[in-house]
Structure 1
């Protein structure tokens, strides 16, 4: 019986690995050479960007390339480094009020949203005793199943809630971040309702996040998203922060993109998750600490 069940076990494990939303770690320079074999100017630029990153990162994990990519990469980085609940998630009653407000006001799809589950998953990550244990938890969560989908959809609703809050501040004449004027200057998203209908509801289905929406994602999570934009190597935009006005007081995570559409996860060590937990002003790899200090 044991010998008969072994192939079934191996098949099951392979299926789980196939479902994983993040590929195993790959040496960052090997990945660069594998993905960009040509000798075109763009290929040279991207490889130069990867070489620059290799001074701080040993490897990279490719993220499932669907339209949830930006949300998935960011949330994975945040959860895999979380050592405490973020301030905005401390009061569950406030979170529930915000979620219900969005559902009632903008007709968000309540059946796909799990705010309580979102908090439970975050708490589970925080309660992990070690970085390795937290990494293992995230590997189980990010399997492309209902648990992962629920978290990603909850994150979208959190973005809607923050967009509504910022739009209300704009209408009241209060100071708001610059990206808000860009977000609501679009004909297709001049208010939270049209933003939901024409943009946010399509994320994960037929569209990913646009660059201005990356700023909103950072504000929703109260986390600075530090992105290495490889096609911008040799420019001031090679490392961009979403947003860039809370680098000293918000935690931060690191992502890498080749085109502002698909985002992957850089890793400090190829054999283990980053040793540093979330810290104020710099969340994740030590290189973030160095870059934020520059």
Structure 2
């Protein structure tokens, strides 16, 4: 893969390597003079990893209260309210919102925790998707979980494991949530617009069902990564372009390392990196169409995850100001 061309319609390799873009979807937007975080620039990998483990341990086990995706608001009014200053960055972000407003008039705010990329994607799936992807439709859940049992023994749930702390208990709990994801997705596809709106509102209430669905999506990512890695090892099968970058990182050279160093922390102490956004889109068999507002003056303003065009894969639009936090544009 020629990484030098992996830019215009795809994630920036340089930014995947910038420490400030790797973690912390929940980082605040800032006020009229927002500044980019450089907290990781002068610390070693061991220090960063130790801090992340400590944050995982201190994550609250209680569930959030209230809606986690707000009702839609006027997009340009939101932009004017949130970015009142005339700094270089404020002007750029507001320009990005004006460009988005050429297609979308409204915006739904997504709760700013470390699940927000998964949450915004799931919200768009349940709101817009017209079909259950073959990967989920045809998945024999018990067999898949059994194949991945060596990967999921240390799975963490934000609300604790209701069944047990054993690998078997984790598998049973993931089975429940995967069944629920299949049921909710199928119901959304088969619903009228009014029924679909009610279903979406019921899911995104910050309760266990919502977090269980997010963990199920995370498992789909792990299962997909395992499948892709197997194809890479065969060396005779075609794989998506992002696979080479995903498994070229020292921290995710195998599915086990990907889970241990990245996916297991999503929702707790970190969000998704850009290459993992590619994996997310590939796993749910939709292209994530992301408007990156801080790139409004560049060809990377509109980025697709994954970058490869799939003829029968619809797009799910998302919007981000900083590649950390994601909201949902609405027509």
**TM-score normalized by structure 2?**
0.72
The alignment partner of 1:184 has SS state of helix
Q: What is the deviation of 1:108? A: 5.3
Determine the C-alpha separation between the residues in 2 that align with 1:117 and 1:25: 26
Provide the aligned C-alpha RMSD in A: 1.6
The 2-side partners of 1:96 and 1:80 are apart by 28
Q: Which moved more, 1:98-107 or 1:188-197?
A: 98-107
Paired position in structure 2 for 1:240: 303
Structure (1/2) with the larger helix percentage: 1
Query: Offset at 1:237?
Result: 0.4
How big is the shift at 1:42? 0.6
Q: What does residue 164 of structure 1 align with?
A: 226
Q: Report the counterpart of residue 64 of structure 1 in structure 2.
A: 111
Cα distance in 2 for residues equivalent to 1:44 and 1:99 = 48
Alignment match, 1:207: 270
**Separation in 2, partners of 1:19, 1:100:** 35
Measure the CA separation in 2 of the matches of 1:76 and 1:192.
26
Alpha-carbon offset, residue 105 of structure 1: 4.5
Task: State the 1:97 CA deviation.
Answer: 2.0
Residue among 240, 246, 250 paired with 1:177? 240
In the superposition, relative to structure 1, how do residues 105 and 67 fare at CA in structure 2: closer, same or farther (>3 Å)?
closer
Deviation for aligned residue 1:227 = 0.2
Gaps of 5+ in 1: 1-16, 269-294
Q: Deviations over 1:187-221 (max 9, x none)?
A: 11110001101110000000000111000001101
Instruction: Quote the residue 2:39 is aligned against.
Output: none
**Distance in 2 (alpha carbons) for counterparts of 1:107 and 1:85:** 28
1:50 equivalent to 2:112? Answer no
Q: Report the equivalent of 2:28.
A: none
Secondary structure of the corresponding residue to residue 236 of structure 1: coil
Among 124, 145, 150, the alignment partner of 2:207 is: 145
- Indicate yes or no: 2:263 matched with 1:217: no
- Measure the CA separation in 2 of the matches of 1:92 and 1:247: 21
CA deviation after TM superposition for structure 1 residue 25, in Å: 1.0
Normalised TM-score (structure 1): 0.81
Question: How far, CA to CA, are the matches of 1:142 and 1:250 in structure 2?
Answer: 25
Q: Is the 8 A contact 1:224 1:253 kept in 2?
A: yes
Take 1:66 and 1:229, find their aligned partners in 2: how far apart are those partners? 19
What CA deviation, in whole Å up to 9, does each residue of 1:270-290 have, x standing for no partner?
xxxxxxxxxxxxxxxxxxxxx
**Among candidates 178, 181, 194, match of residue 115 of structure 1:** 178
Stretches of structure 2 lacking an aligned partner (at least 5 in a row): 1-63, 156-169
Superposed CA deviations along residues 93-146 of structure 1, whole A, max 9, x for unmatched, are 2x4322332234443532552211211111221221x21210110110011111
Cα 1:245–1:67 shift into 2, 3 Å: same
Residue pair 1:112, 1:153 contacting (<8 A) in 2 also: no
